[in-house]
Structure 1
């Protein structure tokens, strides 16, 4: 399970808790975020993330696996499906990114501003973290509380994480969206109805899609039961050799 930008493996706590009785669940902190810290080589290209995660699984001795990714994690996941199709047995994209026309969140737009970049490397105020989280959830969500804000603010302020975020946002990413129709592994697309940049179900052959009517971008934290149930049905169907 791969989390999104400025998040951590804790993003999937509720989903993992529900799935661990039936599946082996592995949740890393992506390089540059969470407790992993910045990459020494400063390489934040999506293709590098995909290769790093494939190498991570190889080090664990796991040859084939399903990949579930939210936001940036979804982008990394579908790149893994393109680059390592013999190893990715199934793909679940949860409000994934990767289409160039997707609107950037406020924090990313600020990080691309040459006047603000030095400030973001040195300081990330709590109120900005809170505002960003509230913008990322659905309008009726109540999950953004003091505990969540403190956790995410603490991750922002781990050594090197702020600079890693700025470096990631200012990395020129290769647009591979035209390759999305080449994804051949079984795919489930989970998305919130009002989240943009979601053309995966139409572009990935034979993919399945489930839409949450009111969720926001952080669907695994907002609706962990809904996400876990959908993932479980999909993966169980794959193991049975049938479509749900």
Structure 2
């Protein structure tokens, strides 16, 4: 935040308080008063006054013996509320609309629910492809592009739990029902950064999936659906390149 910007805002002390909390958040170990003062370029007396107010509000807490400062547990409640009210559509849809216009293909947005991918939105292309799935409906994770790219984000424990709860059923002649083969595929997906559903979920439909995930959480996934007859390597390479840019922009907005 620049000085020109902050001059137009009411409550300079609030901005200083945020600077202090940002430093506490980013510090590798809980900082002392002096360390905070040195970093945020404020006098120790000013920092101490702000810290006392933040401590009173529950935004920071102090270890009395070590005289170090931590963020307060009140933020856990705020984080939970943000999580409850967060809607990935608000960030993703404008960018996915761009991707639909760039590629001319149908774009799908989904989230994880009960070991399935629930379709949140479907942005139809001018050259629309018929999809069996409907908004609000579910798709198997093991057979869909959005599902597989999501599974690729799981650690071994979570992946084992998933496979223990589901039955790998053939939906098309191309559906992979071997757990070992799927696990190998998930390793490849993790390495290349996207997944492919080559008529595994629905005949004559080819999908490319990308996760929407940060280091701490998987928010969902999106995919590009293409009729199999329109698929060629040049087209796929261009779509993957554009989709990776959109993926980064969505994640940056979370």
Q: Normalization by structure 2: what TM-score? A: 0.27
Higher relative contact order (CA 8 A, sep 6+): 1
